[in-house]
Structure 1
Amino acid sequence: MVSSPNPNKNILRNFLSVGFIQAAGLALPLLTIPYLLKVLGAEGFGTISLALAFTTLFVVLTDYGYNFIGTRQIARLKNDPEAVNKVFSTMLSAQVWLTIGGFLIFVISVFLVPDFYEHHMVFMATFGIVIGSTLLPTWFFQGMEKFTTLHWIIFASRALYTAMVFVLVQDKNDLLWVPVLNSSTTIAAGVFGLLLLLFRYNLQFTFSPFKEVLQSLKEGFNLFVSAISTTSIQQLPIIVLGLFTTETIVGYYSFADKIILVFRLATQVLSTVVFPKAVLISQQSFMEIRKFLLRIEKWSVPLLFIASLFLYFLPEILQLTAPQYVNHVVRRLLKIMALLPPVYMLKLTTEQMLIAFDLTALYRKIMLISLLVNIVILILLTWQFNYSGTAIAVVLTEVIIFLAMRRKWKIAEQTSTLAG
């Protein structure tokens, strides 16, 4: 049995440490948003956001759910260097092949979709973030619980990106510099992080046999479907808006979404810190993991309800302090999406319970069905109510996912398998 004398204290320390670094890393690029809106205009900012939203789907393709399954395996095997090295080589090999295959699909998609092809240079330059993401095995850092190291690397790349944007992007003709800088700094972070792992943990990367790669992909399939579904739900609103409305509306939506992202990041940081602990505690008993996650929910959800109130009244605050960054579109979007922060947290704790107990097939099913529902209501509501419909669809989808997960968990809780 794994003992954990004071897991909450360690989690709080890691959360504050990682949260501070990630908050700083997020705040830096956020500083560029008003600047880019001013220099490139809402239309140019919308073009960049559309390319980034589409490319993010391929980041998730190459990640393949390893941020969960890789973290879980490394956390369980970290005292066995030989086993750790094998997991590292196999998963990184799989990610390399996925990157190559993803690039081919990406290129074909960009050249086939007229709205994408119109800005094909921006899209192609943005794909570099996929390469950088592959090079930086975040799941390894997380499994080893080296959160601070990982996020200092990410922070440094974000700081460099932010500084270079202010230096090199001076007018609308410099639009291409934004994805180029984003990709190049992400790749630099990936190269540095990978070299650091190789030397610090004495890892020796070799391409794994294709049979082992396929087995790894098979093991991660449920979480991959769940991850691609989750990211699609987050990125499809921008893509659908790009197809149904104008790039200017996409720009305004992206601005509002970046504000919401601050609160989504808080739950993602907590997920990063909590998951390795949840895996270890899940080896004790179902009741222990349940109590552990519900304690986190008890203090975090009320804080995020306060965040929701802040978001709801943020347009009025911006109107007084920075009126140039708020209009009727941004105001409406923020008021609708103000409901999201506590829903993100409730969904996170339930998600952690499902994954910690290897209920990944159930998790995959929920996310896949939710994605299909999201596509339908997103298209219908955007077509009927424009950007307001998009925001309503986002909130409805997140609530549906949470309710479905919590219901399935309560059913699973009653089974003899989990009770034992």
Structure 2
Amino acid sequence: MKRHLKRLDDEQKTVAKNYSALMILQGLNYVLPFVIIPFLERTLELERFGLVMLAQYLMALCIAATDFGFSTTAVREISVLKSKREDYSTIYFKVFWARAILLVLVFAALCVFVFTIPRFAKEWEVYLLSYGMVVGQTMLGDWFFQGIERMRILTAVNAVSKILFTLLLFLFISSPSDYILVPIFNSIGYLFAGVIMFGLSFRYVSWQWPNFRNTNGFYRDSFQIFISDLSSQFTYAANGVVLGLFAGDSVVGIFSAFDKLILAARKMYIPISQAFYPYLSRKPYQEKRSMMKKLALGTLTIGTIGMLILVFFGSFILNILYADPAIAANDYLLKWMGISVLFVGLSLLFTNLYAPARKLFHQRLKILTSATVFNLILGFLLVPKLGLTGTIVTTIFTELLMVIIAAYYYWGDASSNSEENQQLNKR
């Protein structure tokens, strides 16, 4: 490893080290769900398990709402400041205070949603106690440490918080009646990481009170990313929520068992975009395109392997992990979901890496909002009639649609750049 690092320049070494750190974190993200999810499914039983998973789907929406796109736009801004060796404090606290305001507004919206819908009001404690996850994620500042390319710090703290959450679960949850402890422990894990990372950020920034002057352009770009990311999370969370509305907590539990495996496969791609994004943001157009070709081939290879594992070994994995016969009885649906793993990596490569690096925020917005609208329409058409099968079909076709639209905009950007160069040459 050291021999290979010596051949790289300083920027490439930083990318390699950050990628290695992120791979360690993703390793935990793979291992721990395979320990936690089967444990919760067996201990809480399917209905309570489905309930706590439904709360997590809602928190995913809340996290996207409080993020407001800063995890993309602020990373780019911080990366540019790093290359110029300028102070990070102003941009850091513009993001911090904006997210603090959003944290209050989103919590108010969550309360209205939970208490006005009887289906959710019945178990309101689960949803409100889960909000600690959102608070912790807001304080985490992962966007900042990604921008300054210090992902090893973030990896270490996240690893400790995930292990803490896991230990609390195994020590204190022993029966279905303990389900209320799951959102509490989940929130503790997130808050632990958030408080630690917020404290560590002061090694690089100095305290500033709210100041929102001269930030219209930054917030405007962030708003486009916010709508895009909210759409993306809504697409992810809506499948579980819509299924819960029409089919109940038990069926959500079955879907969650499958979805967690798909999510584990999806997370294979995250270190790629997180490690390469600050680096790619600074590079000229041709270097971006060249890097994308290399990454696309690797992504396609990873996706194919992940899909084949789920198709051929999905039943075996489910039988090892889960005890409820209803989950094993629907194993064929997991195999169908495996197809989406191939599509996910390619669409993420554009939406999470290339489009933000090229500042194609409007195109990214179109892709993700189109997918959300398509997902909702198809879900409400299929789920009431087909239940879980309808959700699986909706998931697969939504991911396929995203790949098709992303490919269209990627090649469209090449044509647009070629025309611009021709016009410049004529001048």
* TM-score tier (shorter): over 0.9
1:157 aligns to 2:156 (yes or no): no
Show the counterpart of 2:349: 349
Q: Deviations over 1:76-128 (max 9, x none)?
A: 10255654111001011110011011111111111011111111000010011
The DSSP-based 3-state class of the residue aligned with 1:414 is helix
Q: Distance in 1 between matches of 2:71 and 2:363?
A: 18
The answer to whether the 8 Å contact 2:221/2:361 transfers is: no
1:55 aligns to 2:59 (yes or no): yes
Instruction: Kindly provide the amino acid, as one letter, of the partner of residue 287 in structure 1.
Output: Q
- Cα 1:418–1:277 change in 2 (3 A) is farther
1:173 aligns to 2:160 (yes or no): no
The answer to whether the 8 Å contact 1:412/1:418 transfers is: no
Shift of 1:297: 1.3
Q: Distance in 1 between matches of 2:304 and 2:420?
A: 32
Shift of 1:213: 6.4
Q: Distance in 1 between matches of 2:179 and 2:322?
A: 25
Shift of 1:319: 6.5
- Cα 1:6–1:418 change in 2 (3 A) is farther
- Cα 1:381–1:289 change in 2 (3 A) is same
The answer to whether the 8 Å contact 2:133/2:190 transfers is: yes
Q: Deviations over 1:215-256 (max 9, x none)?
A: 643230111111001111111110011101021110111011
- Cα 1:416–1:19 change in 2 (3 A) is closer
Once the two structures are superposed, the pairs formed by residues 107-256 of structure 1 within 5 Å of their partners are: 107-198=111-202, 200-201=203-204, 203-211=205-213, 216-256=218-258
Normalised to the residue count of structure 1, the TM-score between the two structures is 0.92
Q: Deviations over 1:167-199 (max 9, x none)?
A: 11111121110000101121111010010111x
The answer to whether the 8 Å contact 2:89/2:208 transfers is: no
The DSSP-based 3-state class of the residue aligned with 1:338 is helix
Percent identity, please. Answer: 25
The DSSP-based 3-state class of the residue aligned with 1:324 is coil
In structure 2, list runs of 5 or more residues that go unmatched. Answer: 1-7, 422-427
Q: Deviations over 1:134-153 (max 9, x none)?
A: 11111100001111211211
Q: Distance in 2 between matches of 1:335 and 1:364?
A: 30
Shift of 1:384: 2.4
The answer to whether the 8 Å contact 2:46/2:324 transfers is: no
Show the counterpart of 1:383: 384
Q: Which segment is superposed worse, 88-97 or 348-357?
A: 348-357
The DSSP-based 3-state class of the residue aligned with 1:110 is helix
Tell me the number of residue pairs that the alignment of Structure 1 and Structure 2 aligns: 412
The answer to whether the 8 Å contact 1:132/1:191 transfers is: yes
- Cα 1:80–1:90 change in 2 (3 A) is farther
Show the counterpart of 1:105: 109
The DSSP-based 3-state class of the residue aligned with 1:78 is helix
Instruction: Kindly provide the amino acid, as one letter, of the partner of residue 211 in structure 2.
Output: P
1:315 aligns to 2:317 (yes or no): no
- Cα 1:208–1:228 change in 2 (3 A) is same
- Cα 1:334–1:320 change in 2 (3 A) is closer
Show the counterpart of 2:265: 263
Once the two structures are superposed, the pairs formed by residues 29-44 of structure 1 within 5 Å of their partners are: 29-44=33-48
Compute the RMSD of aligned alpha carbons: 2.1
Show the counterpart of 2:333: 333
Shift of 1:262: 1.0
